[in-house]
Structure 1
Amino acid sequence: MSALTSPRPSPAPRPSYAAVLRVPHARRTFGAALAARLAYGTVSLSVLLSVNRATGSYAVTGLVMALFGGSAVVLMPVRAALVDRYGPRRALPPMAVAYSGLLCLLAALTWRPGAQPAVLAATATLAGCLAPPLGPTMRAVWGRLADDPALLQRAYSLDGVAEELLFVCGPALVGLLLRFGPPPAGLLLSAVLMPAGTCAFVMSPAVRGVSSPKRAAGGSAGRFPAVSVVAAAGLGLALSGAELLVTGFAAQWPNATRAVPWILAALSVGSAVGGLLNGMVDWRPPAAERLAWLTVALGAALAAAGLASGVWTLALAMVATGLFVAPALTTAYLLADEAAGESGRTRAGAWVNAAVNAGSSGGAVVAGLALGRLPVGLCFALTGAVALAAAVAVGAVNRLRA
C-alpha cells in the first residue's frame, strides 16, 4: 500500500480515570491524601456539636466556628507557601501533629459541660491556623504525576469529585459515631485521621521525591492566579447563599424542611456527575474562556431554581446547578496551575481554595440578610446574579491579561 493510500492514524484516545490511577504511585498517594482530608469532612460538624453541647450557647458556637474556619482560610496561602518553600515532607507533618494535638485539647475541653468560651475560641483559632493544606498539595503532586494535559484534567476532576464525596461521607460518619459516644469523639476521630493520613501521604515515593525548589536568582513563583481567585470567590458566594435559600424555600411548605438534606445532596450528586463528565470532554476553548462560561451556566441555573414549583422540582434544579460546580472549580484549579511556576503550585491552589471558603463565609451572611427581606425566588435570582457578575469579572481579567 502506498503512502498516498495509507490510512490516516487515528487520534490518541482520551485517557480514562483508570489511566489516572495506573500512574506509578498515584493510588497510594491519592488514597493517603483522601484519608487525611477525610478529617476535614468530619471536623466541622464535630466542632459545632461539641462546642454547643459544652456551652449550651448558639452564639458561642457560632463564634468558635467562625474563628476556626476563618483562621484556616486566611492563613491557608501562608501554610501553602511553607510547603512550596520547604517541601511537603518537612512542612506537612509538623502541621498535622500540632493540628491533631489541638483537636484533642478541644475534645478534652468539651467532654463535659461548663467549658470557658474564651479558651474554646483560642484553641479553635490555633487549630485553624495550623490546618495542613492537603488539597492544594495533592493537586500540586498531580501536576507532577500527570505530565499530559488531558491526564491532568482527568486527575483534577477525579480529585474534585472525591473531595465532594468526602464532605458528604464525613458528616454521615460523625452521625454514626454519635450512636456510640459524645460529640467530642468526632474530634478525636479527626485527630487520628489527620496525622495518620498525612504521614502515609508524605512517605509515598511520589511525594518523597518532592524537595524544596531551587529558585534561580530573581526567579518567580509564577503569576498570581487572579482569574481563578475571582471565579472561586464568586462561586463560593453563590453556592453558600444557595444552601441557605434552599432552607428558606422549603419552609414555605408544611413538613418540607425534612427534604432539605436531600435537596442539598442533589446539589452534591450533580456536582459529582458534572465533575466526572468534565474530565471526559476534550475541551477546545482555553481554560480561562471555559471558566467564564461555566460560571455563567451555574449562575443561570441558580437563578432558574427560584422558579421551582415545589421542593422536588427544586431538587432537580439543584442537580442542574451542581453539574457546573465541580467543572468550574476544576477549571479554576487547572488555570491556577498554569499560572503558577514550579515553585508556586501549592500556593496557587491554596489561593483558589481560600477564595472559595472566604466567598462561602460571606455568602451565608448576605443570603441570610436578603432572605428576611425579599421573596425567596428573588433571592435565588440575586444569588445567580452573583455568579454572573463573577463571570463578567473573569472576562474582564482575561482581557487585561491579554
Structure 2
Amino acid sequence: MSTHAPARPSYAAVLRVPHARRAFASALTARLSYGTVSLALLLSVTRATGSYAVSGAVMSLFGATTVFLMPFRAALIDRHGPRRALLPMAALYGTLLCVLAALTWRPGAPAALIAMAAALAGACAPPLGPTMRALWAELAPEPGMLARAYSLDGVAEELLYVSGPALVGALLGFAPPASGILLSAVLIVAGTCVFVRSPGLPGPRHVSRGKRRGVVHGLLIPVAVATGAGLALSAVDLLAMAFATQHSYDTGLVPWVLGALSAGSAVGGLANGAVRWRAPARVRLCWFAAGLGLAIATGALAPGLWTLTAVMACAGAFIAPLLTTAYLLADESAAPGARTQAGAWVNTGVNAGSSTGVLLTGLLIGRVPLGVCFVLAGGVALISAVGPSAVATHRATDAPAAL
C-alpha cells in the first residue's frame, strides 16, 4: 500500500469539475460590475452635482447599504436558494443603477434623489462572491480541491477590482461617466441570469436556531481577522500617498505602490493554493495576519518610495492567503444551509474594517509621525491575529467537560 499523500489538485482540475466553468465565468462577469460601479458612480455624481462633498456622501451611502446589509441578503439566498433569490436582487439592483445613470447623465439632478437611489441600489446588491464560494463548497467539497478553488476565486476577484476601473477609464474616452453605471447594470444582470441557470446550484435549506448560534460563535475568528486586515489595508492607501508627499515624490507614482500590493496578493494567492498545508486553517489564518501586520509595520523603515513598493509587494503576498483561509474557516464553521451567509460576514468584516481604517488614518496623518502610523496599521492586523484566538481558547478552556 502506498503511503504517499495524494497530489495537490491543480487549478485546471478545479475548472474541470462538472458545471464549474460555466458557473464561475458567469459569476465573474456579474462580479465585474462591482469593479466598475464605484469609479463610475463617483465620477458621474461629481459631474452631475459639481460637488465632491455630495459624491462622497453618495458613495458612503451606497457602500454602507451594500456592505452592512450583505449578510441579510445572503441569508435570503440560503433560505430560498440562489435561483429564487438572486435574480430579483439583480433585477432590482440593475434597475436602480439605470435610474442612477439617468439621474447623473447630465448636470442638475437633485442630490437627495441621487443619494436615495444609491442607497436603495446598495441595499439590493446581490452577494455573488459569497454565493459562488458556497457553490464551490458544493461542487468541490474535498478539502484540497476546495482550498485550491477558493484561491483561484480570490485571485480572480483581485483582478476584477484592478481591471474594472481600467475598463471604466477606457469607456470615458468616448462616453460620459454615467455610461459606466449602465455598463455595471448590464454586467450584473446578464451574468446573474446565466449564473442562476447553471446546473449544480444548491436549493433552499433550513437551518435550526441552535445551528445558527454555533455558526455565529465559529465566525468570531475569521470575521475579526478579516476586519483587522481590511482596516490595515485601507490605511496603506492613504499612508502611501502621505509617504510620497512627505518625501517629495510625484504622487502619480503612488499607484505603483498599490499595484505592487495587488500583484503580491495575486502571487501569494496562487502560491497558497499550490501548497499542501499541514497546519489547520485557524493556525494558518493567524500566521497570515501576523505576516501582513509585520510587513505593513516594516513600511516605517522604508527610506524611499521604491523600497516601500517592495515592502508592500511582500505585504500583499499575505492578503489573498489570509482572505482565502478566512473563507475556508467560515465555511468549516457554517451549517450546510448557512454557507452563503457565513462567507458574507467575512466580506462585511473586510469592508467594515476598510471604511473604519480610512477614517482613522485620515485623522492620524499629520498628527502622528508617519512611521508610527505604519506601525499602528500593522499592529491592528497583529492584534486581530492574536486577540480572537485567545478569546476562543479561553472559551474552550472554560467550557464544561462532556459527561
| TM-score bracket for this pair, using the shorter chain length | over 0.9
Q: Give the Å deviation of 1:8.
A: 3.8
**Is 1:288 paired with 2:274?**
no
Of residues 222, 233, 245 in structure 2, which corresponds to 1:228? 222
Q: Give the Å deviation of 1:220.
A: 4.5
The separation in 1 between residues aligned to 2:77 and 2:340, in whole angstroms, is 7
Per-residue CA deviations over 1:249-270 (Å, capped at 9, x if unaligned) read 0112334211111110100000
Of residues 255, 258, 279 in structure 2, which corresponds to 1:261? 255
**Is 1:387 paired with 2:381?**
yes
1:152 aligned partner: 146
Q: Give the Å deviation of 1:393.
A: 1.5
Distance 1:385 1:322, change over 3 A: same
Residues 211 and 335, structure 2, Cα contact 8 Å, conserved in 1: no
Of residues 156, 178, 181 in structure 2, which corresponds to 1:162? 156
Letter aligned with residue 258 of structure 2: L
The separation in 2 between residues aligned to 1:218 and 1:367, in whole angstroms, is 40
Runs of 5+ consecutive residues of structure 2 not aligned to the other structure: 397-403
Distance 1:152 1:118, change over 3 A: same
Secondary structure of the 1:344 match is: helix
Letter aligned with residue 239 of structure 1: L
1:95 aligned partner: 89
1:57 aligned partner: 51
Of residues 55, 58, 63 in structure 2, which corresponds to 1:69? 63
Letter aligned with residue 384 of structure 1: G
TM-score by length of 2: 0.95
**Is 1:355 paired with 2:349?**
yes
Residues 221 and 341, structure 1, Cα contact 8 Å, conserved in 2: no
Of residues 342, 353, 358 in structure 1, which corresponds to 2:336? 342
Residues 207 and 335, structure 2, Cα contact 8 Å, conserved in 1: no
Letter aligned with residue 205 of structure 2: P
2:302 aligned partner: 308
2:401 aligned partner: none
The separation in 2 between residues aligned to 1:45 and 1:230, in whole angstroms, is 28
Residues 238 and 363, structure 1, Cα contact 8 Å, conserved in 2: yes
Which moves more between the two structures, 285-294 or 347-356? 285-294
1:211 aligned partner: 203
Q: Give the Å deviation of 1:372.
A: 2.0
2:367 aligned partner: 373
Secondary structure of the 1:206 match is: coil
User: Which residues of 2 match residues 16-55 of structure 1 at below 5 A?
Assistant: 16-55=10-49
Residues 139 and 156, structure 1, Cα contact 8 Å, conserved in 2: yes
Distance 1:216 1:106, change over 3 A: closer
Distance 1:29 1:186, change over 3 A: same
Paired-residue identity, %: 61
Per-residue CA deviations over 1:342-382 (Å, capped at 9, x if unaligned) read 01000000000001000000000001111121121111111
The separation in 2 between residues aligned to 1:167 and 1:354, in whole angstroms, is 17
Per-residue CA deviations over 1:296-344 (Å, capped at 9, x if unaligned) read 1100000001211111111101100000001011110000000000010
After superposition, the CA RMSD in angstroms is 1.3
**Is 1:177 paired with 2:171?**
yes
The separation in 2 between residues aligned to 1:245 and 1:171, in whole angstroms, is 21
1:113 aligned partner: 107
1:3 aligned partner: none
**Is 1:322 paired with 2:323?**
no
The separation in 2 between residues aligned to 1:276 and 1:401, in whole angstroms, is 35
Alignment length, in residue pairs? 394
1:4 aligned partner: none
TM-score by length of 1: 0.96
Which moves more between the two structures, 280-289 or 351-360? 280-289
Residues 221 and 344, structure 1, Cα contact 8 Å, conserved in 2: no
The separation in 1 between residues aligned to 2:266 and 2:8, in whole angstroms, is 20
